[in-house]
Structure 1
Amino acid sequence: MSTTITTPAADETCAYCESRIFDHDPVCVRDCSDECGSPTYFCNYACLLAFVEENELTTGDACEWSPE
C-alpha cells in the first residue's frame, strides 16, 4: 500500500477552528486504519488535541497498563 503526499492548498483551513493552517504551525493527520483516507489538517497541536478530546477519539484506544 502506498500513500501520496501532497502539499495542501494555501487557503486550507483547520478542521477544528477553521483558521488558515499556514498562518500557524500546521499538523496533518491521516487515519491509516481506514485505508489511509484523505488527510485532515489542523492549524496546530492544540486544535488537534481539542478535536481528539471533543470527539472522544482516545476512548477504548489506549493500551492498558498494569504494574504486574
Structure 2
Amino acid sequence: MATTITTPAADEACAYCDSRIFAHDPVCVRDCTDDCGSPTYFCNYACLSAYVDEENLMRGDACEWDPDADGCC
C-alpha cells in the first residue's frame, strides 16, 4: 500500500495546542495500524509528547527491550 505525502496548509493548527504548526518545528504522525489514515500535525515534539501522555497512548503499545532477544517486539 502506498502513502501519499502532501504539505499541510500554511494555517494548519496543532492537534494539541491549536498553534499554527509552521510557526514552530512541525511533526506529522499517522496511525498506520488503521489503514494509514489522515495525518495528525503537532507544532513540535513537546505537544506530541503531551498528547501521547494525556491520551494514554503508550499503555500496552510500547516494546520492552530484552538484551537477549532478537529485535524489539
**Interval of TM-score (by shorter of Structure 1 and Structure 2):** over 0.9
Aligned to 1:42: 42
Gaps in structure 1 of 5+ consecutive residues = none
Aligned to 2:26: 26
Deviations 1:7-26 (A, max 9, x none): 00000000000000000000
Instruction: State how far apart, in whole Å, the 2-side matches of 1:42 and 1:62 are.
Output: 21
Asked if 1:4 corresponds to 2:4, the answer is: yes
* TM-score of the pair, normalised by structure 2: 0.87
Structure possessing the higher relative contact order (Cα contacts under 8 Å, 6 or more residues apart): 1
Deviations 1:44-68 (A, max 9, x none): 0000000000000000111234577
**Could you tell me the percent identity over the aligned residues?**
78
One-letter amino acid matched to 1:23: A
